[in-house]
Structure 1
Amino acid sequence: MLDAEGSGPVTHEVSLKRKLTLPLLILYGLGVTIGAGIYVLVGTTAARAGVYAPVSFLIAATVVAFTGFAYAELSTRHPVSAGEAAYVRAGFNSNSLTLIVGLLVAASGIVSSAAVSIGAAAYIGEIVPLSQTFLSIAIILIVGVIAAWGILESVFIAAVFTIVEIAGLGFVIYFGISSDPAIISKVGTLFPPLEGVVWGGIISASLLAFFAFVGFEDIANVAEEVVEPHRTLPRGIILTLVVATVLYFLVVSVVVLVVPMAELSSSAAPLALVFEKAGSTASGIFRLIAIIATTNGVLIQIIMASRVIYGLSKQKSLPSFLSIVNPVTRTPLTATAIIVALVLLFATLLPIDQLAEATSSIVLLVFSLVNLALIRLKMTAPQPTEGVFVVPLWVPVMGLLTSIALLISGLLPI
């Protein structure tokens, strides 16, 4: 077929397909949120906050909530891949800042995937006597193939994994309470006194706990594959945060009350410690669930990071070959391959706590810029069109202030 002037063939650009409904979108968000942190970082958070670790998770949830509502508005104003980059472009009209933000988001996905792959390897290593490095590499490569397969297929697999991992957290809560019902009477000990030394550890631990919430913002980066994005995206973001917060508080409360602190603070597979005395069957079932949960976190972060690179390329901030969509898989294969290679690199170079803290710092910086972009839009741009989810101005202001405060806390001595 020739173009309108008869000068050459018409080329049809292959685009992403809108297949993600609200249930799949929520499971997508919960998959990366829950799998990324709670199965891996309870121990390192408890090492800083002690028995008050649940409070650290509540502080992190508060920071995330303000920014979550800001994302809900921005994702309906600009329902595109590489969402954060598009938000910053709209708010600041700066190509260089747009590219920086987009690359920071992709970096957060890369570093997060590397961290969670180490956690997954730790759980698998308790069953299979192979080196953690080898297991991390194998996990990343297998997950990379799934991510390249197709968005519906990979998100469907992630959704199934997410249901399993939520059931696993319910298993932790149930088994922890049933094995020691007296912990219910100790709930009051989870709330700290007003002492500076105690709160210093809690605030420092909040930066690590924040890592456990990294994921809800990934919902914005699959916007071009969401059915009815103006209705589905805000609901997906808000429901993901609510469910994750409730689960986190319950799970962490049970774990810090059941597991000896010395064991918990040094473990890369912390939730498995709840089942130490449960016998081989219960312990084995939970380890299998934990492997699924952590592997799921790696999968979804790789999907997210590849879509950010795709989106930046489509917005002409990166080379055009990165936005090529394979006509068979309908996924950006080149972008996915690059992300997988970088995840492999980081997983073999840095320990899990450094990767988690780096992820949290990167995401908090992005959150600060996204909130500032929404503030500028609200103060300078016309009122959004009908169908846009709108929040009051004070919401992104609080999102900006809390993100900056938590980011600065990571620079303070413990």
Structure 2
Amino acid sequence: MKRLIGVPDAVMIGLGSMIGAGIFAALGPAAGAAGSGLLPALVLAAIVAYCNATSSARLAALYPQSGGTYVYGRERLGEFWGHLAGWAFVVGKTASCAAMALTVGSYVWPDQARAVAVAAVVALTAVNYGGVRKSALLTRAIVAVVLAVLAAVVVAALTSASADSARLHIGADAPFGGVLQAAGLLFFAFAGYARIATLGEEVRDPARTIPRAIPIALGITLVVYALVAAAVLTVLGPGPLAEASAPLSDAARAAGAGWLVPVVGAGAALAALGSLLALILGVSRTTLAMARDRHLPHVLAAVHPRFGVPHRAELAVGAVVAVLVASIDVRGAIGFSSFGVLAYYAIANASAWTLTADESRPPRFVPILGLLGCAALAFALPVATVLSGVAVLALGAAVYGLRKARASRPGR
């Protein structure tokens, strides 16, 4: 595929993946789990995300190929672990695509949310089909608008008469298990930096671009999320925030900035579109890599001769997401996606542990802390989410076993 993405575009793709609908939707459920421990949960999620980003950046520079941790796990740990990482990513992020599409629908036209969601999937699949350069340009415009909306909410909240810094106090009633669960839910909003790595074959000078773009995108996102969380807490407090279905809109109302409510709604829809655009990019590239190795149907490995994109994989992902939109639940998908992505990054950290000094390995504590953090956050999620996530991973392992058994039969 064509290498067209430089550092600025790579950063924008990472920001478009992270600064999306997650910050508009995840704060409420996270506050419900952590109570007054919301900010520590955000910090904990950020620490795990930093370790994952560092491990991923070093691996991506060494293996600048489409597929991300699918490739790293295969090369460093063995074929099974690569398959499991790819499976966790594709299944979890496909569900996340559907959740983002439904978020668009619920803000644009609530009474016809599913129809709008399908239309959004079709439109963004067409944009991705036209080439990664067009996707990067659209992502840049979306990120600029969403950042402006978030900045308006932060300023309105922090300068309002109802702002009370005492609401930022971390109370002794914050349960440790709740903080862990909230961190797992908030991780959903951080996970997009992997999109830079999964586009490895389309990045210019990947050994330089990827390690620079990932920490820049993550650092900007951390600052934005911290400001937004602090601002919303100062006007709502942990209790009302936990009950809010649209926390940023409620914060705007509480701050006396009612004019901002429709702007926030439009920003949330646009943010979800940006996330969906980047998600389809990432899932289709991992699908391409797995199809090349026949872990998925080989027909999906085709690259368009003109546009230089994995067009069959993109069309397949778009079709599956459009079908899921009819049955997926947005909030349930957040937890399910978080579990799958945490499993994916656990394998990334295990892969980074095997790097040598000559391969620019990260500090030894980074992959260890990242691996332990991923495991802790994944199993701190709600029990139903953990059970469904484990079942999906077990299904992926079974698919791998069946494939190996078929390949080992005489005459094959």
Q: What is the TM-score when the length of structure 2 is the normalising length?
A: 0.87
Structure 2 residue aligned with 1:108: 92
Instruction: Give the secondary-structure state (helix, strand or coil) at the position aligned to 2:307.
Output: coil
The partner residue of 1:123 within 107, 128, 132 is 107
Per the TM alignment, residue 262 of structure 1 is displaced from its structure 2 partner at its CA by 5.9
Q: 1:408 to 1:391 in 2, by over 3 A?
A: same
For 1:321 and 1:313, locate their aligned partners in 2 and report how far apart those are by CA, in whole Å: 7
Q: Is the 8 A contact 1:31 1:158 kept in 2?
A: yes
Partner secondary structure for residue 130 of structure 1 = helix
* Corresponding residue number in structure 1 for 2:217: 240
The structure 1 residue matched to 2:146, chosen from 161, 165, 170, is 165
Amino acid at match of 1:205: A
Q: 1:139: Cα distance to partner? A: 1.9
**What is the CA deviation profile of residues 242-263 of structure 1, one whole-angstrom value per residue up to 9, with x for unaligned ones?**
1111111110111122136565
1:61 match: 46
In structure 2, distance between residues paired with 1:213 and 1:352 = 17
Tell me the equivalent position of 1:40.
25
Return the match for 2:305 from 327, 342, 355: 327
Query: In 2, Cα distance between the equivalents of 1:290 and 1:182?
Result: 23
Answer yes or no: is 1:222 the counterpart of 2:193.
Answer: no
| Equivalent in the alignment of 2:83 | 99
Counterpart for residue 9 of structure 1: none
1:186 aligns with 2:166: yes
Residue number in structure 2 paired with 1:399: 370
Q: Determine the C-alpha separation between the residues in 2 that align with 1:144 and 1:265.
A: 34
The answer on whether the counterparts of 1:63 and 1:403 sit within 8 Å (CA) in structure 2 is yes
Per-residue CA deviations over 1:326-381 (Å, capped at 9, x if unaligned) read 22332222101111122223332232121000111011111111111222344xxx
CA contact (8 A) 1:20 1:226 kept: yes
Q: Offset at 1:411?
A: 5.3
Deviations 1:17-61 (A, max 9, x none): 111111111110011111041022112212222343222111111
CA change 1:375–1:136 in 2 (3 A) is same
Q: Percent identity?
A: 26
Asked if structure 2 preserves the Cα contact closer than 8 Å seen for 1:119 and 1:269, the reply is no
User: How far is the alpha carbon of 1:269 from its aligned partner?
Assistant: 3.0
**Residue 132 of structure 1: how far off its partner (Å):** 2.3
Contact 2:163–2:235 (CA under 8 A) maintained in structure 1: no
2:346 counterpart of 1:372: no
CA RMSD of aligned residues (A): 2.3
CA distance in 2, matches of 1:319, 1:182: 55
How has the CA–CA distance of structure 1 residues 203 and 93 changed in structure 2, closer, same or farther, with 3 Å as cutoff?
A: closer
Matched, 1:204 2:188: no
1:36–1:214 contact (8 Å) kept in structure 2? no
1:19 equivalent in structure 2: 4
Letter in 1 for 2:193: F
Q: How far is the alpha carbon of 1:280 from its aligned partner? A: 6.0
C-alpha distance in structure 2 between counterparts of 1:413 and 1:358, whole Å: 9
Gaps in structure 2 of 5+ consecutive residues: 386-412
Q: Which moved more, 1:282-291 or 1:25-34?
A: 282-291
Aligned to 2:67: 82
CA distance 1:188–1:43, shift in 2 (3 Å): closer
Partner secondary structure for residue 326 of structure 1 = coil
- More deviation in 403-412 or 254-263? 254-263
Q: What SS does the corresponding residue of 1:350 show, helix, strand or coil?
A: coil
Q: Residues 307, 155 of structure 1: CA spacing in aligned structure 2 closer, same or farther, 3 A cutoff?
A: same
Equivalent position amino acid for 2:5 in 1: L
Deviation at 1:232, TM superposition (A): 0.8
Q: Determine if contact 1:69/1:395 at 8 Å carries over to the other structure.
A: yes
Deviation at residue 69 of structure 1 after TM alignment? 0.8
CA–CA separation in structure 2 for the residues paired with 1:87 and 1:41: 29
TM-score by length of 1: 0.86
Aligned to 2:397: none
Q: Does 1:132 align with 2:117?
A: no
Please state whether the residue corresponding to 1:179 is helix, strand or coil. coil
CA distance in 2, matches of 1:85, 1:289: 33
Counterparts of residues 148-159 of structure 1 (less than 5 Å) = 148-159=129-140
Match of 1:362 among 302, 325, 340: 340
Pair 1:284-2:262 in alignment: yes
- Tell me if structure 2 keeps the 8 A contact 1:149–1:329: yes
